[in-house]
Structure 1
C-alpha cells in the first residue's frame, strides 16, 4: 500500500473520501508541480473537475501552456478515481497515454473526469467474465465555457481481478 493510500485510510476516519481526494491531490508535491488544481469532486466520486491556470510556472517559449503541464495535470486522475470507485478487489493501472494538441492554450483550461454507474457495472461484469480488461478514457482540456478544445488526452487503463492478477504475477515469476 502506498503512502497516499495509507493517509487516505487514516483520513477517512475524520473526513469524507471526496474531500480527502481533493485536498490530497492539491497538496501532494507531484500534483502541485503540474500547476493543475482539483476544484470539485462529487461526493460519490463519479465526477471530478480540474482547472489548469496559465501562469509564469507553466508558460512555454511561445507564451502558451506547456504541453507537459497539460498532460501531468490530467495524468493521475482517471486511474486514481477508478481505484477509489471500484474498491480493493481490483487492480487498476495506467497502461498508456496519448495526448493530441488541438491549439495553443493561452488561457486557463478546464477538464471534467467522469464515470457513470453503468460504466462501472460494465467494468465489473467484464472483469468477472474475462479476469482483466483495458478501457480508454478520453479527457478534453477546454476553455471555461467548453467552446474550445485545446487538447485531448486518451488514457488506456488496465483493470483486473486482484486475485487473478496476483496469480498471474506469481506464475510469471516461476
Structure 2
C-alpha cells in the first residue's frame, strides 16, 4: 500500500506523467513525461533543449540526458509489479553518441511477459537484477544517447542486497 497521498497518485498511470513532470530535477531539465500506457507497458518522454536547459555548447546537458534515460523503466516496471515490490537503478553507464539539440525523445517499453518473468523469479528469490537499455533520439530519429541501467528488484520486506 502506498505510504502517502503522493505515493498513491504516482502509482496511477494517469497521474504519474503529470506529477513526475513537476518533479524539480525533471522540470528543471526540460523533461516532460508525455504518456504512460494504462497497463504500464509503454512510456514516452520528451526533452526540449533550450538556452535554460543547455550546456555551454548549446546542446543537451549530460546530466539531463541521463535523467531522461533513468525515469521510465523503473516506473513502468514498478507499476506492473505493484506495491509489493521495489525497483531502483543499481548502476548505469551512458554513451553520448552525438550532441542533442531541439526536441529529444525517449520511449521505453516493458512487455507484460518481462514483468511476469521477473515476478516469477522473485517467487523463488528475494531479489534479482535486470539490465535495460534506453535510447534518447532526436526529431530525425538519430540516437543521441544509449544508456544501460542495471535495475535491482526485490519483494518489499526482503533484506537489502549487500554490496561488497
Q: TM-score, normalised by structure 2?
A: 0.87
The alignment partner of 1:120 has SS state of helix
Q: TM-score, normalised by structure 1?
A: 0.82
- Residue of structure 2 in register with 1:58 after alignment: 53
Aligned residues: 161
1: CA distance, partners of 2:24 / 2:155:
31
- Residue of structure 1 in register with 2:13 after alignment: 18
> Over the residues paired in the alignment, what is the CA RMSD in angstroms?
2.3
Is this contact kept in 2: 1:22–1:39, CA < 8 A? yes
- Residue of structure 1 in register with 2:85 after alignment: 90
Runs of 4+ in 1 over 4 A off after TM superposition: none
How many Å apart are 1:124 and its aligned residue?
0.9
Is this contact kept in 2: 1:77–1:113, CA < 8 A? yes
- State yes or no: 1:74 paired with 2:69: yes
2: CA distance, partners of 1:72 / 1:41:
17
Is this contact kept in 2: 1:127–1:133, CA < 8 A? yes
- Residue of structure 1 in register with 2:146 after alignment: 152
List aligned pairs for 1:1-174, cutoff 5 A. Answer: 6-9=5-8, 11=9, 17-146=12-141, 148-163=142-157, 165=158, 168-169=159-160
The alignment partner of 1:18 has SS state of coil
In structure 1, the gaps of 5 or more residues are: none
How many Å apart are 1:120 and its aligned residue?
0.7
How many Å apart are 1:76 and its aligned residue?
2.5
Is this contact kept in 1: 2:101–2:138, CA < 8 A? no
Is this contact kept in 1: 2:68–2:106, CA < 8 A? no
2: CA distance, partners of 1:90 / 1:26:
23
Flag the structure with higher helix content. Answer: 1
